Amino acid sequence: MTIFDIVGVDIELVGVLSTELDEVSRVFEAQLASEFSPVNTLSVHVAKYRGKMLRPTLVMLSGLAVHKDADHSVLTREHRTVAAVTEMIHMATLVHDDVLDESQIRRGGETVNCLHGNELAVMFGDYLISNSFLLCSTLGKPDINTKIGVVTNTLCEGEIVQLHNRGNLDLSEDLYFTIVERKTASLIGACCELGAQLSGGCKNTQAALRRFGTEIGVAFQITDDLLDLTGDQQDVGKSTGRDLDMGKLTLPLIRALHHSDGPTRRSIKALVRDRCHAQLREWLREDGWFESAEQTVIERVASARRHIGDLPDNQATTMLHLLADAIIARTF
């Protein structure tokens, strides 16, 4: 599902976004074009990963939301460039994550590492990141270059901390949220902030939209973690069950471990170590830990919506609210 399928969206705004995202795709593809066919083959393959295009969409919506009438003319080449930059960074993290998680399926097709091996996948992920920085430099805006650099460092730090804690059955909930906020939510927050900045939004508005993006980013990651535990590979469109396979603790399991008595905690740890995943999932469901995580998604989305409560009442702001609600419903 894409944002265009969300019930209640404005048809005219959908048309504007569709046109803008098509332009973003062209910028993306032009930047990655190479004189070498193996590079172009990989670029064509990862183009299939641009499913929802959540991050470019948020750049555009945030750019529109800061003005009362959501005037479409405020969207410029700069918005499209930043949107392509953030999507490249996101694509790089997906390619690298598939290597780290030994994933075979992404968007219903084979991953780069599955088709070409880990070495080529790592190098192509690096190619995406280097091109994102090169594309960003064409804006001639040092402050935006800095923000993109900072957020890229932040998400890398989040990934490193997560890797360091693989197999750590004593991982705290606070550290889990720190990891999620850095590796996922920071880039989504930056998309919202930069979209507002490029449209001339004031500092307070930029900050409010950054906090909105960060909160829905956390909600999105919790939902994604839940789908990895409970979803079907065909429906989700990527390999599932990988978090448990790779020793990555997510919110339901962290809460179960921290809120159980000693004997129960030892039993849970035994299920994890013995890879009794089906039994573990059933126990987490029966004891309400999936529901607990879903409630946190609702709370994070509510917090996100409060952050943009003072934005102009226009169709772009409405769409931001609808997008946030779609995360709760697992329809986006």
The CATH homologous superfamily for domain 3-328 is Farnesyl Diphosphate Synthase (1.10.600.10)
Q: Which residues of 142-164 are buried (b: 16+ CB within 10 A; e: fewer)?
A: eebeebbeebbebbeebbeebee
Residue 47's closest CA among 17, 13, 84? 84
180-213 residue pLDDT tens:
999 999 999 999 999 999 999 999 999 999 999 9
Could you tell me which residues come within 8 angstroms of residue 50 by beta carbon, excluding any fewer than 6 positions away? 25, 28, 87, 91
**Helix (H), strand (E) counts: the chain:** 17, 2
Residue ranges per domain, the chain? Answer: 3-328
Is the confidence at residue 1, as pLDDT, over 80?
Answer: no
Res 52: pLDDT: 83
Q: How far is CA 240 from the centre of its chain?
A: 17
Q: Is 228 exposed, middle or buried (0-12, 13-18, 19+ CB in 10 A)?
A: buried
Distances (CA, A) of 140 to 20, 72, 137: 21, 23, 6
User: Has residue 41 got a pLDDT over 90?
Assistant: yes
User: What digits encode the pLDDT tens for the residues 315-328?
Assistant: 999 999 999 999 98
- The predicted model scores a pTM of 0.94
Report helix, strand and coil shares of the chain as percent, to nearest 5.
75, 0, 25
